[in-house]
Amino acid sequence: MKEYNIVVASDKNYIGFVSVLFASILANKTEDECIRFHVLANNIPLSQIEQLKEQVGSQSLSVYTITDFQKRLNTKLPNTIAVTSYARLFLSEILPDTINEVLYLDCDIIVNNSLENIFSLNMSDYAVAGVLDTLPNEKAKSNIGLKDNDIYINAGVLYVNLKKWRLDGIQNRFIDFLLQHNGCVYHHDQGIINAVLNKSKLIIGPEFNLTSNYFTHKYNYLKKRNKPFYTYEEIERAKVNPVIIHFTEGFLDRPWVIGSQHPFKNKFLEYKQASIIANEPLQSSKKTWYVKLLGYEFTHLPLIFYQVTSFALSMLSKVIKK
C-alpha cells in the first residue's frame, strides 16, 4: 500500500473548498493508495472538522491548530493576504518528523487523476518541486533578488522535501528573509519560497498545477513574459488531461461563481456534490464592471484594445485619487 501525505491550510471561509478538494482526491486515488490528510486550521469550527472526519475517515485526517502561529514570525504581516497562507513556511515544524515528503495544495484546487507521478519524484537534491508560475513580472523576481532567467514557481502546489527542510534549517531561513524585508515580501510567502530555495527547486509539468491563465492567455503572451517556460505542446497536453486544476483568480470566474465559463467547472461541481457544501448555492460574481470589461477585451479582442483601456482606467484612477 502506497501512503501519500497531503496538507492544506485553511480558515473557516475556505473549509468547504477543502472538502471539495478532498472529494476529488478520493475519487481519483487507486486501490493501492492510502491518503493521509493534514489540515492546518485557523479558527475552523469543531463542527466543520467533524464533518471532514466523517467525509474522509477520522483515522485519515490530522488537524493542527495554527491560530496563534503568527507570533513565531516576530513581524507584522501585510493585510493583503490571509495569515493562513504563511503556514506553509512552517511545514517542517508543524508536521510529524516521521513525514519526509508532503504535497501541499491550496484550497482552490481539485485533483483530476492519480497523484502517483508526483509522489514518485526523486527529491534527493531538491527542497521543493513546483510548476512554473505564469506572469511573474519583473518585480516578482527582481524584488526578491532573483535574475530574469531564474526559476519562479507557483506556491499553490508544492511537493516538499521535509527531510531536507529540517536538515538545512530552511524554516529559519524563511523567517530571516521575511525579517530582512520588514515583513513585506513581493508575492508574500510565494516570494519567500522562491527566493530562499532559488537553487533547490525542481520544475514539474503544467499538468500538476493548471492555473486559469492557461485558458485565457495566448501561448506567445505567456512565453514572452516567463523565462524559463514550457513548450506549446506541454501546455496543450496539460489542458486536455490535467492532474491538478488550480482555480486561480483571473479573467475567468471561479467555478463556484454563478455563470463561470471555466472549462473544468463541471468537474468542480461534480466533486462539490460529494463534499460538505453539496447543498450550498453558488456565489454571485464580485468582479467590478471594469474588470469584466478588461477580461472580455483581453480574451476576445486584439491586445491593443486591452492595453488602451487598461491605460485609460489607470489614468482615471490617478485623477480620482487626486
Mean pLDDT of the chain: 92
Which parts of 136-265 are beta strand (E)?
157-161, 201-204, 210-211, 244-246
Name residue 40's beta-bridge partners: 9, 64
Cell numbers representing residue 182 in the block: 520588514
Which CA distances in Å does 163 have to 38, 89, 160, 170?
Answer: 17, 14, 9, 10
Please determine, for residue 78, whether its predicted confidence score (pLDDT) is greater than 90: no
Residues 121-125 have a mean pLDDT of: 97
* pLDDT classification of 41: cutoffs 50, 70, 90: very high
Q: How many residues does the chain have?
A: 322
- By mean pLDDT, which of 40-49, 79-88, 99-108, 280-289 is the weakest? 79-88
Residues 14-31 have a mean pLDDT of: 97
Alpha-carbon gap, residue 272 to 315, rounded angstroms: 42
User: Is there a contact between 8 and 111 (Cβ–Cβ < 8 Å)?
Assistant: no
Query: How confident is the model at residue 305, as a pLDDT?
Result: 86
Name residue 10's beta-bridge partners: 41
Query: How confident is the model at residue 71, as a pLDDT?
Result: 63
Q: How many other β-carbons are positioned within 10 Å of the β-carbon of residue 231?
A: 11
Residues 126-154 have a mean pLDDT of: 91
Nearest Cα neighbor of 246 from 207, 292, 294 is 207
Query: How confident is the model at residue 79, as a pLDDT?
Result: 58
Residues 29-41 have a mean pLDDT of: 96
> Could you tell me what percent of the chain has a pLDDT over 70?
94
Query: How confident is the model at residue 314, as a pLDDT?
Result: 85
* pLDDT classification of 70: cutoffs 50, 70, 90: low
Most confident of 136-140, 144-148, 294-298: 144-148
pLDDT digits 0-9 by tens, 182-198: 888 988 899 999 999 99
Classify domain 2-285 at the CATH topology level: Spore Coat Polysaccharide Biosynthesis Protein SpsA; Chain A (3.90.550)
